[in-house]
Structure 1
Amino acid sequence: MAGAAGIGAVGSLAGMTVARSVMRRISDDDPYADEDFELLDADRGFVVTTEDGVPLAVREVGPEDAALTVVFAHGFTLRMGAFHFQRARLTEEWGSQVRMVFYDQRGHGQSGDADPDTFTVDQLGRDLEAVLAVMAPRGPVVLVGHSMGGMTVLSHARQFPKSYPSRITGAALVASAAEGVARSPLGEILKNPVLEGARFATRYAPKTVHRTRGAARAVIGPVLRAASYGDARISPSVVAFSERMMHDTPIATLVGFLHALEVHDETAGLATLAKVPTLVVCGDRDLLTPKDCSERMADALPDSELVIIGGAGHLVQLEQPGIVNDALVRLVERATPSKLTAMTRRLRERVRHHG
């Protein structure tokens, strides 16, 4: 009962926070009122089939013969559109020098559903390898993972260490953690019997899962929303976009991956990532992967830059895209051949000069 009371308190606190910030948001100006958040849908599309037959939706931006490929792995209950601002700004920044590859994780976005038993961080690392094998079989690659996507990168590093630094020349871990989120507010909520019931239904009685859908969303939704942003002045259009992504995520995916996030331990991947330049980013108001998770990862990565963004929550790349984009540009400069570095720097100076 104490646990349930704690959940109620966190849930209602989250609900109140959301309600308060939404009230404030409505009166604010919205710099992104005319933003096209479906920009990625117009990019070159591919389907990559995983080892167990799940079709992953993939999008590609930039020339196929670019000197470097940057691959983005999104977080829990999101889709590749979570990197909307990186897609928009970095295309201008890098021009023809860099190709960007985005994909929807299994069970998310436009990618196929999968057996709930495969909703593991271990499997996500192998899915990333499948994407790399098809989309970037040659040439240097930088990996960027947000939240569960950062765990995906760590999982890949643990399982495919020989690719570092020969193929993977740099990596970014954004609002992520090397091990389970049991100690964060999300960990407390995961103990809720409603979620246990939904997890049981998705695994053993999939036809009844719709009955638990509303209850499970009612428990987890307010927490994810409250943790998304740290600053009440966030654009209402950005908030609506991220909430749409969360709402569109199937309940079986949501419930299935919750357990994986609770128990995963990819600290072994840090030893592999230590061979390449890395970037670790988080907001100091991130409730789901608190900043000490990022600080611990950065401590284990000798060639890392740690960027802690004041006032930002878990969806830091949507909340403070400029700071995240600048940090990614610095990472690519550290992780790529000198010719590209000089070109990138010149481009950036030109953009700044005209901006």
Structure 2
Amino acid sequence: MSARAGWLAGAAGVTAVGTAAGLSVAKSLRRKFSDDDPYRDEDFELLDADRSSVVTTPDGVSLAVREVGPENAGLTVVFAHGFCLRMGSFHFQRARLSEQWGEQVRMVFYDQRGHGQSGEAPPDTYTVEQLGQDLESVLAVVAPRGPVVLVGHSMGGMTVLSHARQYPQRYPTRIVGAALIASAAEGVARSPLGEILNNPALEAVRFTARYAPALVHRGRGAARSVIGPILRAASYGDHRISRSVNAFSERMMHDTPIATLVEFLHALEVHDETDGLATLSKVPTLVACGDRDLLTPMDYSQDMADQLAKSQLVIVGGAGHLVQLERPDVIDDALVRLVERATPSKLVALTRRMRERVRLHG
């Protein structure tokens, strides 16, 4: 059999093997939708209206960046999104926290390489180590001065850990706080995702994406049949979820290029950023997750919190992997507390208390 024929056979084989593997994990989970959709008219593209720029990494990849809040704010909070998502996955944080913090805080969001509006890159650069370097590139251009709090969800949390391992000198002199939301310090083979990662058919698609990219479209739908069921099942937990929020998250996943999907799946399996925990111990941290998270079970969060001297652990009952979309109120409140603990001046905390008094007595 020729190499070309082998690649095509591998891609075709994903459909039969992959669908069964994905459904075996997800078959017992049924999405429950809210009868009344409070977000039916929500503008989930809110971030596209914010100040935009592009950060070009040393290896030439263009990263799309959005900002809200004054450039001279006393604190910058930088958000790194997760696997198969984009910066819009922090929609509710951007919407509420920009009002809560006002002019005291600038928020910076960006799309990871290969995701959203950022450029695609050579497949061998789709690693957690590289993501940590990309975060440093964003910080160097967008937040070269002043205190910074990093917020990472899922693979974004791994990005923060990777940055902490590679740039320990930034902590606590520049990076004064960090949040790890639904994340893990090392490979996720112990989670139900491990069943999918061990599927040889998925490796065939990864091989095709790397060495025969012109053929990868043939396995596009097949590869999604491997990972799609588990991503959908793991996204949300026990609570009834808004149909609009669910549709938004599924659009983000579906729009992710297939090479990005399969290469970063491998990265999630093999990464080990546990050394970054020692660096993060120097700053106040938030560790948060849902107790129904199948991709990064709460054991991962509990283990990280145990190793972080200044951590607050928040377990969100009934929530799944996309906890910041499913229960934004809990995550937003936790981020407010993190910023209050991490901010050297108390301006942010003072502003919050003043606004609370106005709300209660106005």
After TM superposition, the structure 1 = structure 2 runs for residues 1-355 of structure 1, keeping only pairs within 5 Å, are: 8=20, 11-15=23-27, 17=29, 20-21=30-31, 24-25=32-33, 28-350=35-357, 352-353=359-360
Q: Residue 183 of structure 1 aligns to a residue in which SS?
A: coil
Query: Residue 149 of structure 1 aligns to which amino acid in structure 2?
Result: G
Q: Deviations over 1:319-348 (max 9, x none)?
A: 000000000000000000233244233245
How far apart, in 2, do the equivalents of 1:249 and 1:347 lie? Answer: 42
How far apart, in 2, do the equivalents of 1:157 and 1:351 lie? Answer: 39
Query: Residue 119 of structure 1 aligns to which amino acid in structure 2?
Result: Y
Cα pair 1:44 1:60 within 8 Å, conserved: yes
Query: What are the ranges of 5 or more consecutive residues in structure 2 without an aligned counterpart?
Result: 1-15
% same residue: 79
Cα pair 2:22 2:229 within 8 Å, conserved: no
Shift in alpha-carbon separation, 1:6–1:34, aligned structure 2, 3 A: closer
Cα pair 1:7 1:192 within 8 Å, conserved: no
Query: Residue 178 of structure 2 aligns to which amino acid in structure 1?
Result: A
Cα pair 1:141 1:168 within 8 Å, conserved: yes
TM-score normalised by length of structure 2 = 0.93
Query: Residue 123 of structure 2 aligns to which amino acid in structure 1?
Result: P
How far apart, in 1, do the equivalents of 2:89 and 2:358 lie? Answer: 24
Q: Residue 41 of structure 2 aligns to a residue in which SS?
A: coil
Q: Deviations over 1:176-196 (max 9, x none)?
A: 000000111111111112211
How far apart, in 2, do the equivalents of 1:354 and 1:244 lie? Answer: 42
Q: Deviations over 1:141-182 (max 9, x none)?
A: 000000000000000000000000000000000000000001
How far apart, in 1, do the equivalents of 2:83 and 2:359 lie? Answer: 34
Q: Residue 286 of structure 1 aligns to a residue in which SS?
A: coil
Q: Residue 346 of structure 2 aligns to a residue in which SS?
A: helix
Number of aligned pairs?
Answer: 347
Shift in alpha-carbon separation, 1:353–1:155, aligned structure 2, 3 A: same
Q: Deviations over 1:56-110 (max 9, x none)?
A: 0000000000000000000000000000000000001000000000000000000
User: Residue 11 of structure 1: CA displacement?
Assistant: 1.8
How far apart, in 2, do the equivalents of 1:170 and 1:122 lie? Answer: 20
Cα pair 2:80 2:109 within 8 Å, conserved: yes
Q: Residue 144 of structure 2 aligns to a residue in which SS?
A: coil
How far apart, in 1, do the equivalents of 2:206 and 2:236 lie? Answer: 27
Paired residue for 2:8? none
Query: Residue 226 of structure 2 aligns to which amino acid in structure 1?
Result: V
Cα pair 1:93 1:351 within 8 Å, conserved: no
Query: Residue 26 of structure 2 aligns to which amino acid in structure 1?
Result: A
Query: What are the ranges of 5 or more consecutive residues in structure 1 without an aligned counterpart?
Result: none
The alignment yields a C-alpha RMSD, in angstroms, of 1.7
